[in-house]
Amino acid sequence: EFRRVLFRSPARIPGTHAVTPFICSRRVPPQILVVDDQIDVLDAWALLLEAEGFAVATASSALEALRRTIAEPPDLIVTDLMMPVMDGLALCRRLRADPRLNAIPIILWTAASVSVSEPVFDVFLTKPVSVDHMLGHIWRVLAGGSTR
């Protein structure tokens, strides 16, 4: 079970002050890096997560995600598995091999019918994923829960 903490988030609409639930994290709001080579999927999830109050950065390739993570490590990475040049699993391996980055939780997801048993990620999901299902996993891994 994760612990939720209430705080006032920055108003998205002038004059409003919404109270948004968040779990404990390194930053408030937590920074999530979303990685997908399909720009429409990337943009949609970025908008959905921002609407939930998360700070979201995006990368359209695993190499870009690796560069961004080295420059400014996020609190969580959500990455697609199937991408050109470097796939999501290779990204996970690189992150786990780096002592500065290996504690960052990773959600690996894919639309492909594959099974991945290598323990280099925290959660493995098959697309499509509902917003509620994804948020449940995000809250759990940010609170320290893992399937590794």
List per-residue pLDDT tens for the chain, 148 residues long: 233 333 333 333 333 333 334 444 456 899 999 999 999 999 999 999 999 999 999 999 999 999 999 999 999 999 999 999 999 999 999 999 999 999 999 999 988 877 778 889 999 999 899 999 999 999 999 998 665 5
Is residue 107 packed enough to be buried (19+ CB in 10 Å), middle (13-18) or exposed (0-12)? buried
C-alpha 28: how far from chain center: 15
Helix axes 39-51, 131-142, angle to 10 degrees: 70
What does the radius of gyration of the chain's CA atoms come to, in whole angstroms? 15
Q: What pTM value is reported for the model?
A: 0.80
Structure-block tokens of residue 5: 């903490």
> Which residues fall within 8 angstroms of residue 35, CB to CB, at 6 or more apart?
42, 58, 59, 60, 61, 62, 64, 65, 77, 78, 79, 80, 83, 88, 91
